[in-house]
Amino acid sequence: MNKKIKQGAVKSFIGDFVRKKTKAEQLQSEPSLKLFIVELLIFASLVLGYFFLVLIFLANWLKTLFDASKPLYALVALALIVTQGVVLEVISAVVLKVVETKLE
């Protein structure tokens, strides 16, 4: 039962993530300034943590790949930036949902 509730919540989150919203829905779903600032601060902290725990350690591996095969490096480079873009966006949406739930 809990698993079904969680799956439903995830589906609803994904739907909200990509669905076009009407003007009324946009106005309703826009976070208040306080929520937006809290979400932004938490998100910025997570991003900084990601930089110090992950990005710093990629330099040597990327250089090795760059020297070994440019086409493969090109694909990996595009995949990395797209993945980072999507993941950071999902994390910001999740943080906003959690902040909304806790503060309202």
- Of 11, 89, 98, 103, which one interacts with other proteins (CB under 8 A)? 89
- Judged on CB neighbours under 10 Å (0-12, 13-18, 19+), 8 is exposed
Transcribe 49-74 into DSSP letters.
HHHHHTGGGGHHHHHHHHHH-HHHHH
- Taking the complex as a whole, the smallest distance from the CB of residue 5 to other proteins amounts, in Å, to 25
Report the interface residues with other proteins, using CB under 8 A: 17-21, 26, 30, 36, 40, 43-44, 47-48, 50-51, 55-56, 58-60, 62-63, 66, 70-71, 73-78, 80-82, 84-86, 88-89, 92
